């Protein structure tokens, strides 16, 4: 297992290196001069020259990449020229917000999705299966931003039950935090619940037709025990993959929700930095996504070994 | 089972339809206000009423963010100027008539013969860090503004501190616009002590000024928090306990928050906001400014012989082909006022004798034929990706005379590069420029070699440059007015360097309980937050 983890870690390092190279090059290839992006168009030659030098644009690109990598190793992501502060400080404030919302969304969507999937599979062809499958299909096709805007319109604007915007950590103000979190988390979770439900139903249906399940039933075990003890663990493998992949969405894909609810997370930061050609911040955000996804994939691979001992032996 | 599924489907569809209708605006029965006369003047409430309603925190939402607060040389957008006004005051402000009046300064005078601008400061004004706002502090601010590379006060050759409350600015040559540039644009005064102790980046993020409110925090892309400055020099002001400037990247959120009472003022207005607020019965707070606006229009590349627009007749043809008056009318509810020149209508530099190019398709076709394009031609139309609709309207008008314009949307960074000092464009650019009564310095920023904005795609006629210099160097106001009017006419009637559409004044929406907010009310880059109050 240690060899397996070490091997996967090495692969992750290579992936992160390649991502860093592409990110660096892409950030500079984006249309628009970074100096104008930072200062606007109404600037003198003197202002332009000062900023050009300050942003190290007078140095060759390979040298900038080498310097950037050297700084990265020291934990320095560079300085944001839009925000005029170290990028690491920006990430430190933004990443926890996104991880909190995304974490809640993953927990809720996984738990609810698994439950719905099991219910649909075990009640196949019954009314409950029909309802769950229909709702899962609906959730899967519903655009995230539309759901967010609809939720805001109904619960914030018309009913005035929940706030339209903002984010607070529960440690600062628990009630305010819960009120501000409900709409974004629901909007983030609905699609994931739908996917998990559909995947779980399909996976569970496949497992409960296996011989060992028939054997367990023949032994006279209760249906609930058959499902929880014998079927669930094997049916969970595709869900683990799905959950691992949803980490990518947590870090980068939540941008639309963060923009709609005015939440300063990494998704919003990434969009803003790309639009304003804030190269250092864009590079850092994409690199963070790569690192999080690599770690998530590693955890997924390790989980496979736990859920299916055959993978461990291989 | 099939019937049951159909039933479920119908229930869900019915529910979704209900949600959609319930959340739409169409069902509202609120009376739509008549905003055809554009200006809803600020309420003429008395100080006594404001006195009785002290306290509260005003929440102002903007769709735009800020990149700089406490470093005047770095302030770039009118939103940034507005957002920092609670903390950082200017030496001068504009009054209702658009005239420059002293504010943080007590008085000022210019001497055309001695080439000086003398500024007298108020006594006992202190920054929020407790240090004195004296002549040395103001001198440092103006020097730092110049050192930042800004060109507005380049005419200032030297700054002499005559006494702790008097500065004399020595000019390299006479410039009758220098008071506006020094007291308003460059005259946002911050604490030199804080800057020297903490550096430029810290100053950018932590404005320390003399204003009615103290800076508390700036949570990037979220909000700026200000609290009342108890030792503000004007007795009894401000009325509010604090101000929160809230950044909302999505307009839908701004509308929702306004309707839910979570914000008090909408600082960024577009068509979506106007429509929603009309449904809610709220009228925009605005007035047609005669100075301190934004001018909108299009600017063809006039300096490239390889393009059709190099020919004056082609530029005149496209001007005749576009019904700018109708476009301005279409956007009237967003503060647009038609102008046939690069000057806000009603301003002292607006020339009524400017003929312009009234909408005339036949004349446009005739001019095109005379220029050798009887069947029109194809060209590119560059526009910021956030404003494509305006360019689509322009495209439709040009198509009528056979000009096939391909619209190319640009992100802000690319647009700024194209319109910056070293940039150019090859076609028609959606243009936005400052709309000031004192128009000569604004022209100088585009229509001369020393310009900084849209300078690379437009002709720099010698006689225009001479008139700009003459207007700036005029020793009497009457002379300045006469030359500026001549300039306004020449740029349009003689050279047709741009196709102006409208002058756009600042506009905002405030909840009914909010009074005297005056965001951009006297000039698009200013605010009077010390006067605002909220009815309890």
> Once rounded to an integer, what is the mean pLDDT over residues A306-314?
66
**A160 with B201: Cβ contact below 8 A:** no
Task: Report whether pLDDT(A140) > 90.
Answer: no
- Confidence band for A20, pLDDT divided at 50, 70 and 90: confident
Task: Report whether pLDDT(B404) > 90.
Answer: yes
Integer distance in angstroms from the first to the last C-alpha of chain B?
59
CATH number of this structure's domain B35-210+506-534, picked from the four choices 3.40.50.10320, 3.90.76.10, 3.40.640.10, 3.60.15.10: 3.90.76.10
Residue A274, min C-alpha distance to chain B (Å): 10
CA angle (B181, B187, B190) in 5-degree steps: 155
What whole-number distance in Å separates Cα of residue A103 and Cα of residue A115?
A: 18
Residue B299, min C-alpha distance to chain A (Å): 16
Spatial CB neighbours of B22, under 8 Å, sequence gap ≥ 6? A154, A158
Phi then psi dihedrals of residue B140, to 5 deg: -60, -40
Specify the pTM.
0.84
**B149 with A130: Cβ contact below 8 A:** no
pLDDT, tens only, A88-112? 999 999 999 998 999 999 999 999 9
Looking at domain A88-313, its CATH class is mainly alpha
Q: Which helix (H) or strand (E) holds B265?
A: strand B265-266
- Tell me B529's DSSP state: G
**B5 with A261: Cβ contact below 8 A:** no
Could you please report the per-residue DSSP string of B10-50?
HHHHHHHHHHHHHHSSTT--PPPP--TT--BPPP---HHHH
Cβ(A132)–Cβ(A119) under 8 Å?
yes
Cβ(A85)–Cβ(B69) under 8 Å?
no
Query: Which of the two residues, B168 and A228, has the higher pLDDT score?
Result: B168
Task: Report whether pLDDT(B438) > 50.
Answer: yes
Q: Which helix (H) or strand (E) holds B446?
A: helix B440-447
What whole-number distance in Å separates Cα of residue B327 and Cα of residue B294?
A: 15
Question: B-contacting residues of A 141-180, CB under 8 Å?
Answer: 149-150, 152-154, 156-158, 160, 163-166
Q: What is the pLDDT of residue B239?
A: 95
- Confidence band for B24, pLDDT divided at 50, 70 and 90: very low
Residue B300, min C-alpha distance to chain A (Å): 18
Measure CB to CB from residue A153 to each of B12, B67, B256 and give the nearest one: B256
Measure CB to CB from residue B419 to each of A41, A127, A131 and give the nearest one: A41
What whole-number distance in Å separates Cα of residue B491 and Cα of residue B340?
A: 11
What whole-number distance in Å separates Cα of residue A40 and Cα of residue B366?
A: 40
Query: Which of the two residues, A135 and A304, has the higher pLDDT score?
Result: A135
Strand partners, B332: none
- Name the CATH superfamily for B2-26+290-504: Dipeptide-binding Protein; Domain 3 (3.10.105.10)
Task: Say yes or no: B261 contacts chain A, CB-CB below 8 A.
Answer: yes
**B248 with A131: Cβ contact below 8 A:** no
Mean residue pLDDT across chain B: 89
Q: What is the pLDDT of residue B39?
A: 36
> Once rounded to an integer, what is the mean pLDDT over residues A231-259?
80
Which residues in chain B are closer than 8 Å to A259, comparing Cβ atoms?
249-250
**B253 with A153: Cβ contact below 8 A:** no
> Once rounded to an integer, what is the mean pLDDT over residues B69-92?
93
Question: B-contacting residues of A 53-82, CB under 8 Å?
Answer: 82
What whole-number distance in Å separates Cα of residue B388 and Cα of residue A193?
A: 37
- Confidence band for A314, pLDDT divided at 50, 70 and 90: low
Q: What is the pLDDT of residue A253?
A: 59
Task: Say yes or no: B248 contacts chain A, CB-CB below 8 A.
Answer: yes
What whole-number distance in Å separates Cα of residue B378 and Cα of residue B131?
A: 62
pLDDT, tens only, A281-301? 988 888 888 888 888 888 887
How many angstroms from the chain centroid is the CA of residue B526? 9
**A82 with B67: Cβ contact below 8 A:** yes
Residue B223, min C-alpha distance to chain A (Å): 10
- Confidence band for B530, pLDDT divided at 50, 70 and 90: very high
Name the nearest CA neighbour of B503 among B234, B179, B212, B286.
B286
Measure CB to CB from residue B22 to each of A31, A39, A154 and give the nearest one: A154
The CA-atom distances, in angstroms, between A181 and each of A102, A164, A169, A310, B157 are 11, 10, 9, 41, 57
Measure CB to CB from residue B201 to each of A84, A152, A166 and give the nearest one: A84
Q: What is the pLDDT of residue B229?
A: 96
**A261 with B1: Cβ contact below 8 A:** no
Question: B-contacting residues of A 197-256, CB under 8 Å?
Answer: none
pLDDT, tens only, B126-138? 999 999 999 999 9
Here the tokens at position A69 are: 């990598």
Cβ(B79)–Cβ(B215) under 8 Å?
no
Cβ(A159)–Cβ(B28) under 8 Å?
no
The CA-atom distances, in angstroms, between B200 and each of A44, B192, B195, B196 are 19, 10, 6, 8
Token pair 């997924």 is found at A300
- Confidence band for B44, pLDDT divided at 50, 70 and 90: very low
Spatial CB neighbours of A186, under 8 Å, sequence gap ≥ 6? A147, A151
| Closest-approach residue (CA) in chain A for B63 | A262
pLDDT, tens only, B304-346? 999 999 999 999 999 999 999 999 999 988 889 999 999 999 9
Domain boundaries, given as residue ranges, for chain B: 2-26+290-504, 35-210+506-534
Residue B263, min C-alpha distance to chain A (Å): 10
The CA-atom distances, in angstroms, between B242 and each of A87, B86, B259 are 30, 9, 21
Task: Out of A251-260, B5-14, B431-440, B442-451, pick the least confident.
Answer: B5-14
Strand partners, B101: B93
CB burial of B248-270 (b: ≥16 within 10 Å; e: otherwise) equals: bbbbbbbbbbbbbebbbbbbbbb
Measure CB to CB from residue A154 to each of B19, B219, B261 and give the nearest one: B19
Here the tokens at position A139 are: 């959730």
How many CA atoms lie within 13 Å of B237's alpha carbon, on the beta-carbon side? 14
Residues found in chain A: 314
What whole-number distance in Å separates Cα of residue B385 and Cα of residue B362?
A: 32
Task: Say yes or no: B64 contacts chain A, CB-CB below 8 A.
Answer: no
Question: B-contacting residues of A 264-303, CB under 8 Å?
Answer: 264, 268-269, 272, 275-277
3-state secondary structure chain A: CHHHHHHHHHHHHHHHHHHHHHHHHHHHHCCCCHHHHHHCCCCCHHHHHHHHHHCCCCCCHHHHHHHHHHHHHCCCCCEECCCCEEHHHHHHHHHHHHHHHHHHHHHHHHHHHHHHHHHHHHCCCCHHHHHHHHHHHHHHHCCHHHHHHHHHHHHHHHCCCCCCCCCCCCCCCHHHHHHHHHHHHHHHHHHHHHHHHHHHHHHHHHHCCCHHHHHHHHCCCCHHHHHHHHHHHHHCHHHHHHHHHHHHHHHHHCHHHHHHCCCCCHHHHHHHHHHCCCHHHHHHHHHHHHHHHHHHHHHHHHHHHHHCHHHHHC
Task: Say yes or no: A17 contacts chain B, CB-CB below 8 A.
Answer: no
Q: What is the pLDDT of residue B35?
A: 34
- Confidence band for B10, pLDDT divided at 50, 70 and 90: low
Q: Is the ipTM of this complex over 0.85?
A: no
| Closest-approach residue (CA) in chain A for B10 | A134
Token pair 């310095």 is found at B441
The SS3 assignment for B375 reads: coil
> Once rounded to an integer, what is the mean pLDDT over residues A23-48?
78
Question: Parallel, antiparallel, or unpaired for β B166-171 and B116-121?
Answer: antiparallel
> Once rounded to an integer, what is the mean pLDDT over residues A147-173?
92
Here the tokens at position A286 are: 């994409």
Spatial CB neighbours of A151, under 8 Å, sequence gap ≥ 6? A183, A186, A187
> Once rounded to an integer, what is the mean pLDDT over residues B150-155?
89
**B249 with A268: Cβ contact below 8 A:** yes
pLDDT, tens only, B226-255? 999 999 999 899 999 999 999 998 999 999
Residue A288, min C-alpha distance to chain B (Å): 19
């Amino acid at each position: 297992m240690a060899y397996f983890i070490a091997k996967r870690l090495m692969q992750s390092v290579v992936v992160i290196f390649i991502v860093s190279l592409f990110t660096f090059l892409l950030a500079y290839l984006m249309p628009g001069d970074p100096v104008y992006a930072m200062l606007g168009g109404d600037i003198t030659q003197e202002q332009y020259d000062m900023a050009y030098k300050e942003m190290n644009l007078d140095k060759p690109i390979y040298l900038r990449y080498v310097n950037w990598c050297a700084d990265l190793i020291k934990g320095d992501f560079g300085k944001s020229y839009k925000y005029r502060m170290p990028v690491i400080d920006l990430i430190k404030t933004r990443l926890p917000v996104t991880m909190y919302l995304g974490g809640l969304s993953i927990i809720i969507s996984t738990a609810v999705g698994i439950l719905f999937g099991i219910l649909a599979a075990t009640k196949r062809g019954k009314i409950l299966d029909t309802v769950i499958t229909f709702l899962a299909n609906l959730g899967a096709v519903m655009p995230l931003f539309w759901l967010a805007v609809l939720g805001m319109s109904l619960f914030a604007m018309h009913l005035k039950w929940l706030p339209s915007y903002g984010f607070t950590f529960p440690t600062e103000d628990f009630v305010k935090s819960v009120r501000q979190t409900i709409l974004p988390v629901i909007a983030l979770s609905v699609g994931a619940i739908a996917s998990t439900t559909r995947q779980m139903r399909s996976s569970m249906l496949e497992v409960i037709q296996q011989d060992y399940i028939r054997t367990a039933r023949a032994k006279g075990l209760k249906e609930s025990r058959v499902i929880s003890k014998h079927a669930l663990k094997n049916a969970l493998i595709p869900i683990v993959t799905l959950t691992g992949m949803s980490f990518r969405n947590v870090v980068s894909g939540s941008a639309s929700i963060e923009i709609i609810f005015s939440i300063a997370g990494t998704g919003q930061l990434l969009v803003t930095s790309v639009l304003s050609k804030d190269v250092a911040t864009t590079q850092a955000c994409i690199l963070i996504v790569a690192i999080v996804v690599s770690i998530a994939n590693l955890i997924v691979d390790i989980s496979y070994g736990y859920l299916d001992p055959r993978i461990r032996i291989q | 089972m099939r019937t049951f599924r159909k039933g479920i489907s119908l229930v869900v569809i019915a529910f979704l339809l209900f949600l959609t209708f319930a959340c739409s605006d169409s069902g509202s029965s609120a009376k739509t206000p008549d905003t055809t006369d554009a200006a809803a003047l600020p309420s003429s409430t008395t100080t006594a009423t404001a006195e009785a309603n002290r306290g509260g925190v005003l929440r102002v939402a903007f769709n735009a963010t800020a990149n700089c607060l406490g470093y005047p040389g770095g302030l770039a957008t009118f939103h940034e100027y507005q957002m920092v006004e609670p903390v950082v005051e200017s030496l001068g402000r504009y009054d209702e008539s658009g005239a420059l009046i002293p504010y943080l300064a007590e008085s000022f005078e210019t001497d055309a013969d001695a080439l000086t601008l003398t500024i007298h400061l108020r006594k006992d004004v202190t920054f929020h860090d407790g240090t004195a706002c004296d002549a040395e502090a103001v001198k440092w601010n103006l020097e730092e503004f110049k050192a930042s590379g800004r060109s507005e006060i380049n005419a200032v050759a030297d700054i002499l501190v005559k006494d702790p409350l008097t500065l004399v600015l020595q000019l390299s040559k006479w410039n009758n616009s220098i008071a506006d540039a020094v007291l308003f644009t460059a005259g946002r005064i911050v604490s030199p002590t804080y800057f020297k102790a903490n550096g430029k980046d810290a100053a950018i993020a932590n404005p320390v000024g003399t204003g009615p409110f103290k800076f508390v925090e700036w949570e990037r892309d979220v909000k700026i928090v200000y609290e009342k400055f108890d030792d503000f020099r004007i007795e009894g002001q401000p009325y509010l306990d604090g101000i929160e400037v809230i950044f909302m990247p999505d307009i839908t959120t701004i509308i929702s928050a306004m309707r839910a009472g979570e914000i008090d003022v909408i600082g960024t207005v577009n068509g979506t906001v106007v429509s929603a607020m009309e449904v809610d019965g709220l009228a925009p707070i605005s007035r047609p400014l005669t100075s301190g606006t934004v001018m909108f229009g299009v600017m063809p590349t006039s300096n490239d012989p390889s393009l059709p627009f190099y020919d004056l007749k082609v530029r005149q043809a496209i001007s005749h082909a576009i019904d700018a008056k109708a476009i301005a009318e279409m956007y009237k509810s967003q503060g647009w006022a038609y102008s046939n020149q690069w000057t806000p209508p009603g301003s002292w530099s607006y020339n009524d004798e400017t003929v312009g190019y009234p909408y005339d398709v036949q004349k446009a076709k005739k001019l095109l034929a005379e220029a050798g394009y009887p069947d029109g031609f194809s060209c590119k139309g560059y526009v910021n990706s956030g404003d494509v609709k305006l360019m689509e309207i322009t495209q439709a008008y040009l198509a009528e005379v056979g000009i096939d314009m391909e619209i190319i949307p640009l992100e802000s960074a690319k647009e700024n590069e194209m319109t910056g000092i070293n940039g150019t464009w090859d076609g028609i650019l959606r243009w936005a420029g400052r709309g000031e009564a004192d128009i000569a310095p604004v022209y100088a920023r585009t229509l001369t070699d020393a310009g900084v904005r849209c300078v690379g795609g437009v002709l720099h006629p010698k006689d225009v440059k001479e008139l700009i210099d003459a207007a700036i160097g005029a020793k009497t106001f009457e002379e300045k007015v006469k030359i500026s009017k001549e300039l306004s006419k020449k740029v349009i009637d003689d050279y047709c360097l741009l196709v102006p559409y409208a002058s756009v004044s600042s506009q905002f929406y405030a909840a009914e309980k909010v009074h005297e907010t005056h965001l951009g009310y006297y000039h698009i880059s200013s605010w009077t937050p010390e006067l605002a109050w909220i009815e309890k």
